[in-house]
Amino acid sequence: MENMGKRVHVITGHFGSGKTEFSVNYVMDLKKELEKVAILDMDIANPYFRSRERQEKLEKLGIAIHFNTYGYDISEDLPAITATVRAPLENYDYETVVDVGGNDSGARILLQFKKYFVKDDSEMLAVINANRPDTDTVEKCINEVESIEEETGIKMDALINNTHMLRETTPEDIIKGFELGEKVKAIKGVPVKFSTCETKYVEALCEAAKKKGYEPVVLEGAGHDPEAAKNGGVEFADLGKDGKMYIYPITLQMRPSWLDVQF
């Protein structure tokens, strides 16, 4: 099997940590490498900025998306999702990204699907942003991870360092998040799988990381292309366990351009 990672990727984390932005990027990259790819929008906590807002774009790319029973985004805040979310979880031909609502309360929804999240087949990821007030220290990050673990009964496999400050992001922000993640790893044993970085800042981040004594490795795609998966000799599933700084380039999909208008 060419599959270098897990088949189901569960994306959890604090609200506003960037789970949806990461999930949409990740599923789009998966699609470039695999035929059958799905995203499950299980966010029933937040009414805005959900992956279902990109339904048209994702479906055009051939990505299956499941969210409510209507099959299109409606103006509702009912805590309900469609039964079809089980389809890609049960179909082993599908690689699936599960975009979960924020915090432990948002992750509660995972309980009813727990049987699909088995160790060899799925990975549980927590997105952290060291610039968010509720995940800006080691203690708060561990608390976030543990509260989601307690709520779901599923062990966290890795962190995604998604530290940014929107248009004001500097390489130092991303490195700060990486260092925070490394400290979490030292205490909790949960590694930083990779650090996201907008494509345009990747070069600057690599330089800044080297200056700090870290070894940056820029990932290409979502890691299922055998060439891209080499990643300095580490399998995609094991990223972050060796202390290298793996950089996952992203492009913004969720944020409308006018939000960055300066007065």
Q: Where on the chain is the footprint of another protein (CB under 8 A)?
A: 15-16, 46-49, 75-77, 129, 131-133, 136, 164-166, 168, 256-259, 261, 263
- Provide, rounded to whole angstroms, the least separation between the CB of residue 184 and another protein: 19
d(CA 236, CA 144): 24
* Residues 79 and 105 sit within 8 Å (Cβ to Cβ): no
- Provide, rounded to whole angstroms, the least separation between the CB of residue 194 and another protein: 20
Between 171-188 and 202-211, two packed helices, what is the crossing angle to 10 degrees? 60
Nearer to another protein, 51 or 131 (CB): 131
Between 138-152 and 171-188, two packed helices, what is the crossing angle to 10 degrees? 60
d(CA 230, CA 224): 10
- Provide, rounded to whole angstroms, the least separation between the CB of residue 101 and another protein: 12
Nearer to another protein, 15 or 94 (CB): 15
Nearer to another protein, 129 or 231 (CB): 129
Nearer to another protein, 76 or 90 (CB): 76
CA distance readout (Å), 80 to 72, 75, 76, 85, 97: 13, 13, 10, 11, 18
- Residues 6 or more apart whose Cβ sits within 8 Å of residue 242: 234
- Provide, rounded to whole angstroms, the least separation between the CB of residue 135 and another protein: 10
Specify the amino acid at residue 104.
D
- Residues 6 or more apart whose Cβ sits within 8 Å of residue 223: 4, 5, 33, 229, 231, 236, 239
- Provide, rounded to whole angstroms, the least separation between the CB of residue 75 and another protein: 4
Nearer to another protein, 119 or 167 (CB): 167
Nearer to another protein, 97 or 254 (CB): 254
- Provide, rounded to whole angstroms, the least separation between the CB of residue 48 and another protein: 4
